[in-house]
Structure 1
Amino acid sequence: MSRTDESSPVGTPASASPTRLLVVDAGDESAFRPLNGVGGIPGPVAGYPQFPDMTPLWRDAGVTVVRSYDWVSRLDTRNNPTSLFPDWDAPVDDPASYNFAATDEWVEAVHSIGAEVMFTVASSIPSNKLPAEDMDLYGRVVERIVRHYSQGWAGGPSKPIRIYEFGDQPDLGPLHFAGRPDEFYAMYQAFCEAVRRVDPSLTVGGPATAFALEADAPYREGFLEFVRDNELPLDFFSFLWFTDGSRDPLDYRYVSAELRALLDRYGFTHTDLTLCYWNYLAVPSSSAPAPEKGAFQAATAIYLQDTVLDHAFFFRADSGLDPHYGFVDPGGVGTADGAPDERSRALALAGRALRGHRLAVTGGDESGLACAAGRDGDVVRVLVANYVAPDVALAERAEDRFTFRIPIGTERIELGLALPPQRPELASAGVASAHLDVRNLPWAGRTVNVTRTSMTGAVDGPHDARVSDAGDLQLDLDLVPQSVFLVEIQAR
């Protein structure tokens, strides 16, 4: 099966030529979509000294918002010493009943780089997946937590958190929620009512569904029907998507369009669409070399700009060390001790490029050769990614479904999900180099500094270059498979 989208603005069709002409028009500006969120643990904290400090990378990448789910900040529905509310028999109004210290430090770390926090309310998975036993009590506890993080109750952070998400992959078989859908809905209602009691202007959403293309599902249509019928707020609908089953960076265009249409059909035309986690691979048994992952990251960050998404979070923008599961997540970046690799550099290069004013670009394709450009003050940046899908992604599928097994302790949980139709256009066009033609630069006839930075860490420059009297600058790039380059042109 194949799919096409004639409205896609990503560039020209794939060509058989080994050299691709990429044209950037610095005089044609528009806005970037605000899609530079991440999920991950900011750094070491008391009780968790093993986590490397990710804030320098996040600052370099221009991260704007961080999802808190993989922190220790989980509200377990049963007694748990690491939960935000460890003892459900404790007095709700007593600040001493809460366990805020580590989470507060991470909130402050995120705020220190100028980013916001999207605070996720979910149970302490994998140790417990049960629904709340007393919805009234649950709501009162949620209210105190929100007051702490939004209004400073019990010594909360000085800068308020304004975005709250409920749930995390409730449809992931028995792994994340061991209750009935109606129990999940009731918890969402208690969550919404609690947040609104604190401040009706706070942003709320959910449910972070894992299987976004499963039709007539409890955590898609069922959830939306409950929210609509009970007139509950839903400022954003959140979902996850990883490409273990396709290795296709344009999955996100297809999935987001399907979900946007679903929201509109249910009357949620003003509800934002939030991709709360994305990455190349998520299944623990999946693997790929770091350069392949990094090239996918950069290409996907570019392609996401031409989707209907309102917000997106790359997962996970840390070393992959996990305080809950006890393994290193394959979605991490860098090494276990925080040293950079192609994945962390791709995150930084994409974040640096996709800021300021977006510039028009032609010449990219839908086969992994992606290009984006932006102007940020006196710097023009051009990001080029040459992602080449592996052979396993190009073999014809028997069906558009992916089945996989997740090991949790001694358990082996088998799951499956619907995939977007397979695209024959995913096959690489075999581009080996690019001729970059940057036009209408504002520094006509002047000398500028040009720097080329590779995902490998190699930096070439700065070198002097002269902009033509017409405002043009010509550059050439060698593009081996699984490569990413950032070209920066800076006025002198």
Structure 2
Amino acid sequence: MSRTDESLPSDAPSSASTARLLVVDAADESAFRPLNGVGGIPGPVDGHPQFPDMTPLWREAGVTVVRSFDWVSRLDTRNNPASLFPDWDAPVDDPASYNFAATDAWVEAVHAVGAEVMFTVASAIPSNKLPAQDVDVYGRVVEHIVRHYSQGWAGGPSKAIRIYEFGDQPDFGPLHFGGRPEEFYGMYRAFCEAVQRVDRSLTVGGPALALPLEAGAPYREGFLDFVSENELPLDFFSFLWFTDASRDPLDYRHVSAELRALLDRRGFTDTELTLSYWNYLGVPSSSAPAAEKGAFQAATAVYLQDTVIDHAFFFRADSGRDPHYGFVDPGGIGAADDGPDERSRALALAGRALRGRRLAVTGGDESGLACAAGREGDTVRVLVANYVAPDVALVERTEDRFTFRIPIGEQRIELGFDLPPQRPELASAGVTSARIDLRGIPWAGRTASVTRTSMAGAVDGPQDARVSDDGRIRLDLDLPPQSVILVELRVRDGVPGRHS
């Protein structure tokens, strides 16, 4: 997989060759952006035994926040025994009217791994997409749910949830909201007022746009105008993006820049930008090898660090078994037997790397060769991803528009949306190996333990390596297409070590 090299020859590989020189400056530190959120179901609970336990992986990946939308117990707007409020004729103030058990268990599971919950309030899509029949009653129900999860009402969790999101893809044709935009706006007002009655310091936002580049749309500009005119809070503006049409990990830079500019123009300069879901593929009929997906995941995690996105959630960090749609979502991770695969390992490797203090890196490109480094205590980590876009993504488009069909039961829903411009730089530079030159390591003359872990599951090391007297270590890595490698260096002792 790799070797340690004490000398760096004068003919070091250039960015134009199949080898690449990656320089990490451990003396140049900055902060990582807090983008290590996920969406997914934590694991099995009473009544829902079919979901595998994802919490060990989430703990390894250092997941910081989990979006709740895909959990079973949503707040449906019609009577539904699985809803958080099953019967809309029941007394709103009675704890017995609520169905908290499964959601409480998942909240506790998330908190147990050290992560927060972003609680999403939305109906039981796809079985029901209708607006609230009585917005005032709806608001009172939301208030009691928030009191349960933020103040412990009706035996709520001991640790408060602080982040609440309203809506999920209301602009996604007829699939996610079956009412008029004005009805959605009214529900958002009721949601905000309910949360503020509980605690005005809680964080609120929405609407989780599915089609964020559709200018002048009711759930984009129209929603922002309503919020502004009614002086409602909007701590974060949320959206989703998948790259089925482009396979380009830098889509997120383009989309987020446009949304940031939109928010700023409309006076929402303090509103943060939340990427509620991201992944390689989101259309159920899309497919790609697990290694290709994993390499994209890791490369995108690196590229997201240099966007204007404030918070991000990888979707979906579970098996993909969907309790609402009845299929296995292509965004899921892990093998068919729920064991690890390239996608789950990519999540873990990226999560381990992008923590602590960020270190400056040069030598990567915008064609899928992505590199990030971090220092956490006495450990330095370097993550290298070699994502290669498939040929289908490199064919010149006739237009920057994507149309597709969603199969829901017997329905075939035709949809389309605008895309970022196609980038010729997406074509891979053909890199197959890399030389990592780590400089400014604060352990000059000491012994470091070096371990290399690949997305394929191979582990090389630990091996001892000596940090030079000027604080440098050099490593060579093989980087075949669709590969990810995490290099971890830990200082071992204060005695100059042997080179291996």
Q: TM-score, normalised by structure 1?
A: 0.97
CA distance in structure 2 between the aligned counterparts of 1:84 and 1:440, rounded to whole angstroms: 54
Which residue pairs with 2:103 in the alignment? 103
Which residue pairs with 2:379 in the alignment? 379
The secondary structure found in structure 2 opposite 1:22 is strand
CA contact (8 A) 2:61 2:350 kept: yes
Which residue pairs with 1:459 in the alignment? 459
Alignment of 1:277-292 (within 5 A): 277-292=277-292
Alignment of 1:242-391 (within 5 A): 242-391=242-391
> What are the ranges of 5 or more consecutive residues in structure 2 without an aligned counterpart?
1-13, 493-500
Q: Deviations over 1:412-439 (max 9, x none)?
A: 0010010000000000000010000000
Which residue pairs with 1:8 in the alignment? none
Residue type matched to 2:228 in 1? R
The reply on whether 1:450 has 2:447 as its aligned counterpart is no
CA distance in structure 2 between the aligned counterparts of 1:218 and 1:336, rounded to whole angstroms: 40
- How many residues end up aligned between the 2 structures? 479
The secondary structure found in structure 2 opposite 1:176 is coil
Q: Deviations over 1:393-427 (max 9, x none)?
A: 00000000111101000010010010000000000
CA contact (8 A) 1:51 1:337 kept: no
The secondary structure found in structure 2 opposite 1:158 is coil
Residue type matched to 1:85 in 2? F
Q: CA deviation at 1:467?
A: 0.7
CA distance in structure 2 between the aligned counterparts of 1:167 and 1:336, rounded to whole angstroms: 31
Which residue pairs with 2:406 in the alignment? 406
CA contact (8 A) 2:15 2:21 kept: no
Which residue pairs with 1:221 in the alignment? 221
CA contact (8 A) 2:358 2:374 kept: yes
Which residue pairs with 1:206 in the alignment? 206
Which residue pairs with 2:488 in the alignment? 488
Residue type matched to 2:347 in 1? L
CA contact (8 A) 1:54 1:338 kept: no
CA contact (8 A) 1:319 1:337 kept: no
Which residue pairs with 2:7 in the alignment? none
CA contact (8 A) 1:209 1:239 kept: yes
The secondary structure found in structure 1 opposite 2:385 is strand
Q: CA deviation at 1:15?
A: 3.5
CA contact (8 A) 2:15 2:363 kept: no
Q: CA deviation at 1:338?
A: 2.3
CA distance in structure 2 between the aligned counterparts of 1:84 and 1:320, rounded to whole angstroms: 22
CA distance in structure 1 between the aligned counterparts of 2:200 and 2:328, rounded to whole angstroms: 39
CA distance in structure 2 between the aligned counterparts of 1:55 and 1:149, rounded to whole angstroms: 20
Aligned-pair Cα RMSD in Å: 0.7
Which residue pairs with 1:183 in the alignment? 183
> What are the ranges of 5 or more consecutive residues in structure 1 without an aligned counterpart?
1-13
CA distance in structure 2 between the aligned counterparts of 1:405 and 1:46, rounded to whole angstroms: 35
CA distance in structure 1 between the aligned counterparts of 2:18 and 2:467, rounded to whole angstroms: 26
Q: CA deviation at 1:359?
A: 0.1
CA contact (8 A) 1:350 1:383 kept: yes
CA distance in structure 2 between the aligned counterparts of 1:337 and 1:368, rounded to whole angstroms: 30
The secondary structure found in structure 2 opposite 1:461 is strand
CA distance in structure 2 between the aligned counterparts of 1:19 and 1:422, rounded to whole angstroms: 26
Q: CA deviation at 1:446?
A: 1.1
Residue type matched to 1:363 in 2? G
Which residue pairs with 1:37 in the alignment? 37
Alignment of 1:124-139 (within 5 A): 124-139=124-139
CA contact (8 A) 1:52 1:337 kept: no
Structure 1 segments (4+ residues) deviating >3 Å: none
Q: Deviations over 1:455-476 (max 9, x none)?
A: 0000000001111100000100
Q: CA deviation at 1:72?
A: 1.3
CA distance in structure 2 between the aligned counterparts of 1:248 and 1:202, rounded to whole angstroms: 35
CA distance in structure 1 between the aligned counterparts of 2:310 and 2:424, rounded to whole angstroms: 28
CA contact (8 A) 1:122 1:167 kept: yes
Q: CA deviation at 1:447?
A: 1.2
Q: TM-score, normalised by structure 2?
A: 0.95
Residue type matched to 2:260 in 1? R
Residue type matched to 2:24 in 1? V
The secondary structure found in structure 1 opposite 2:139 is helix
